[in-house]
Structure 1
Amino acid sequence: MTGVQLRRMPLLLREVRGNERLEPLVVQEERSNHVLWSCATAQDIWADNESFLQKAKWGETDFCSTCKEMQETLTVPQLELCACVLRQLWLRRNRWVFYDAFAAPRTLWLSAKSELEEFQQAQHSVTAQHEEQHVVRNIVKWRRPEGDWLKANWDAAFSESSRKMGGGCVVRNCDGEILVAAAWPRSFISNPLQAEALALERATDLCAELGFQKVIFKGDSLILVKDILCKEENMSWYGQLVEDLKPVFTNESSRRLQHGLGNQAAHVLAKLALQCNEEVVCLEEGPREIMNCIDHDKFVSLLI
């Protein structure tokens, strides 16, 4: 019986005698698809009156196959709700394992719907903010930095259909002359706020790589600027990006972060980046598409 895992039952009660062989306990690895789909407790969730998968096929398959079947049969709103239900299922499993608490199927569905509504409202707020900024951007004029400071205007463009972003950055001196203009694409982006954070991150890295000192970074994402300048730890879904950017502006007096809408040149670069396959960097000049913006900003800044 060496190496054999026995069932939990006193040997005395089982009346084990002589060389009688005991039935080994087979312990199977718990798979994610079992927890989220084929387990009896999970089936109770998907068979609830709130569910649109009551007639789905149950089976021990891999999770990717289950998700593929959902994508082929469900609408986009149903898939979004399914994603929230799957998350609530996993959280319920963890609460049961660690806290011995178990939620009813109806409670889980209500939590998933509430979670989805909160997410959609947050997405709507971010989209509305960007639409408002797009209207005001052309009205606000670019201002020259003072003394030996440089100004780096950064912006991001986001394509929801392709889940792709374009980032743009223009660094100018106090005379309005271009020191560097850069545009870069990124894939697998979930929303405009993430795109703005990644654009700022690349803009700070670019200035560090070129050895620029005393740089003012100015962008039109008020939410991002406030989150970075806030002293409290950011616990939101993109909090790690925010926490990575905070030391750049809190530990160095030569880096400043400001909110502003006079960044038309950076906005044009970000739009152009959506059509690029790789990063483009121009030193002491810029693409012809932004030169009208640069000349206009240089002239108008003399009048301010």
Structure 2
Amino acid sequence: MVEDLICINIEGDNKLVRDRTKWQKPETGWWKVNTDAAFSAGSSIGAGGAIIRDAGGCLLAAAAKRYEHVHDTLTAEAMAARDGLQLAAENGYERVTLEIDCLPLFNLLQSDMGVRSSIAGLWHEIRELGKGFSFKLSFVYRDGNEAAHAYARLVSESSPVVSWLNSFSLCLLRVTEKDCNPGSYD
């Protein structure tokens, strides 16, 4: 809510408006890893989704994983970010931009305060994984990260881990394309 309040534009008729953000391609020679999480406080179950795209916007890899006994949304988001970086490392990408839509996680990863947070272990893992790449961290509003969120929702109790590499269903490709062109399928 806070990020929405920061980004609103109050027009004369008191309507709150924020332009939809679309996913931006990474620089040439870089790969973008978008991650997002879904979380249910009632069940303490979360899920993370990660997708990797190249400078042309081509979907290269995606994965989703179910998390049990998750404390809160921040923890689920950090687990998804860690898993996204692990996916990039496993596939040999060397120049990686990690793009997330969780502002508290983004701020923690940019500071040294993560060591004192509830996600200190995950904060440390993410920072250590980042040392294995030429690494950048980027924040995007949820509108530009819908594909990673959609992938996170594809896991279940019977399929707790799913991954795709170079072969994607039309449905998954459509969700990814929507990230680049929000509103095109509304």
TM-score in same-fold range (> 0.5) = yes
> What is the 5 A alignment of 1:248-263?
248-249=129-130, 251-252=131-132, 254-261=134-141, 262-263=144-145
Shift of 1:218: 0.1
Q: Shift of residue 299 of structure 1?
A: 6.0
Q: Return the alpha-carbon distance in structure 2 between the equivalents of residues 177 and 237 of structure 1.
A: 35
In the alignment, which of 283, 290, 297 is matched to residue 165 of structure 2?
A: 283
Shift of 1:139: 1.6
Counterpart of 1:270 in structure 2: which amino acid? A
Tell me the CA shift for residue 289 of structure 1: 3.6
State which of 76, 87, 98 in structure 2 corresponds to 1:195: 76
CA drift of 1:232 comes to 4.8
CA distance in 1, matches of 2:25, 2:114: 33
Q: Considering fraction of residues, name the structure with more helix.
A: 1
Structure 1 residues 253 and 272, CA gap change in structure 2 (3 angstroms): closer
Instruction: Tell me the secondary structure at the aligned position of residue 258 of structure 1.
Output: strand
Normalized per residue, the structure richer in strand is: 2
Is the radius of gyration larger for structure 1 or structure 2?
1
Runs of 4+ displaced beyond 6 Å = 130-133
Q: How many Å separate the matches in 2 of 1:244 and 1:226? A: 16
**1:161 equivalenced with 2:9 (yes/no):** no
1:230: which partner in 2?
111
Q: How does 1:1-304 map to 2 (within 5 A)?
A: 128=1, 139-232=20-113, 234-249=115-130, 251-252=131-132, 254-261=134-141, 262-274=144-156, 277-298=159-180
Name the amino acid aligned to 1:257.
Answer: L
After superposition, the Cα gap between the structure-2 partners of 1:264 and 1:137, relative to the gap in structure 1 and judged at 3 Å, is farther
* RMSD of aligned Cα (Å): 2.7
Q: Which runs of 5+ in 1 are unaligned?
A: 1-127
Contact 1:179 1:283 in 2 (8 A): yes
Contact 1:220/1:260 (8 A) holds in 2: yes
Aligned residues: 170
Q: Displacement, 1:290?
A: 3.0
Cα deviation 1:162-187 (Å, max 9, x = unaligned): 21111101101111111001111010
TM-score of the two chains, using structure 2 as the length reference? 0.79
Residues 126-171 of structure 1: CA distance to partner in whole angstroms, max 9, x if unpaired?
xx459989xx999210111111111111000001222111110110
Distance of 2:167 and 2:19 partners within structure 1:
22
CA offsets 1:79-109 (integer angstroms, 9 cap, x no match): xxxxxxxxxxxxxxxxxxxxxxxxxxxxxxx
